[in-house]
Homo-oligomer: A and B are copies of this chain.
Amino acid sequence: MNSSIVSLSEMAKQIKNGHKVVLFKDCSVPMELGRTLIKQGTKDLHLVTVPTGSMLPDMLIGAGCVATVETSGVSLGEFGLAPQFGSAVKSGRIKILDATCPAIYAGLQAAEKGLPFIPLRGLIGSDVLKNREDFRVIDNPFMENDPIVVLPAIAPDVAIFHAGMADVYGNVYIARQAELKIISHAATKTLVTVEEIVDFNILEQPELAPAALSAMYVDGIALVPNGAWPLNLPGYYDYDRSSIKAYAVAAENDSSFKTWLETQNSSSKVNSH
């Protein structure tokens, strides 16, 4: 048994005002943890979206939890632009650090490897580069007249995600979301909500072990069934399209967003829908 199993509210308390929090975009989005952060009134987060973000960052921004967004793009996909993100950028309420997808991955991989920086092709001549004071252009040390961008490591305070299965030993099964290893290695702490906690050791199952995140990298696990709702979790549940659509509509203006938020706060949908 592992002492890393905690309640959702205990987990949320480990995320402090001002923390740099890294979020993976794909089907591993800890929506219920996000709602809990809003309820507890977390402020001034620096979100890193890997590499892009959708409803979770938009909702956190709208609720006033966020000071900075480091991202390659925030959008609700087929449900349109991310309205709260858009209005926060426009008003200057949040600081935006625009990147490009592989730059986010590369920065996290640098932190994973303990490198202070990592090079990346592309970017030169873009306004993305022009507006990132923390990106540099150096000469390739191995070739004359070959400028190349170098990116600083991205070392978040906390990685958070939702997964299907953890075990009582603190290991988490991440299925095909291999990038969850990168973000967990890069972050100081990793907090995971899961659909189920099993008694057997995931690492001792030869077919599961290759897609397991070792307990060494996991600082907290909370049992939160439907914790990605209304987003999806492959093998467990699909998108709840009408709820996402309702969000997309509500988020279009601040007063309907506020109303939507109050509905969320007054009753968690997670264990009842």
A residues near B (Cβ < 8 Å) are 106, 113-121, 136, 138, 140-143, 146, 148, 150, 152, 175-176, 178, 206-211, 235
Closest 8 CB pairs of A and B: A210-B211, A207-B207, A136-B141, A176-B210, A138-B141, A115-B119, A116-B140, A141-B150
Determine whether the beta carbon of B146 is less than 8 Å from that of A116: yes
Closest beta carbon of chain B to A87's beta carbon, Å: 33
B residues less than 8 Å from A119 (CB atoms): 115-118
Residue from B152, B175, B176, B206 in contact with A175 in the complex, judged by beta carbons closer than 8 Å:
B206
Closest beta carbon of chain B to A119's beta carbon, Å: 5
Which residue of B is nearest A137, CB measured? B141
Determine whether the beta carbon of B235 is less than 8 Å from that of A206: yes
Residue from B116, B120, B146, B210 in contact with A143 in the complex, judged by beta carbons closer than 8 Å:
B116
B residues less than 8 Å from A208 (CB atoms): 207
B residues less than 8 Å from A138 (CB atoms): 138, 141
Determine whether the beta carbon of A117 is less than 8 Å from that of B136: no
Q: In the docked arrangement, what's the CA distance between A106 and B148, Å?
A: 18
A175 with B210, Cβ < 8 A, contacts A115-B119, A119-B117 known: yes
A-B contact pairs, 27 of them (CB 8 A): A115-B118, A115-B119, A115-B120, A115-B121, A116-B119, A116-B140, A116-B142, A116-B143, A116-B146, A116-B148, A117-B119, A117-B140, A117-B141, A117-B142, A118-B119, A138-B138, A141-B150, A142-B152, A175-B210, A176-B206, A176-B209, A176-B210, A178-B210, A206-B235, A207-B207, A207-B208, A210-B211
Which residue of B is nearest A207, CB measured? B207
13 A-B pairs besides A115-B121, A118-B118, A138-B138 with CB distance below 8 A are A115-B118, A115-B120, A116-B140, A116-B148, A136-B141, A141-B150, A175-B210, A176-B206, A176-B210, A178-B210, A207-B207, A207-B208, A210-B211
Q: In the docked arrangement, what's the CA distance between A175 and B205, Å?
A: 11
B residues less than 8 Å from A148 (CB atoms): 116
Q: In the docked arrangement, what's the CA distance between A140 and B114, Å?
A: 13
Closest beta carbon of chain B to A16's beta carbon, Å: 26
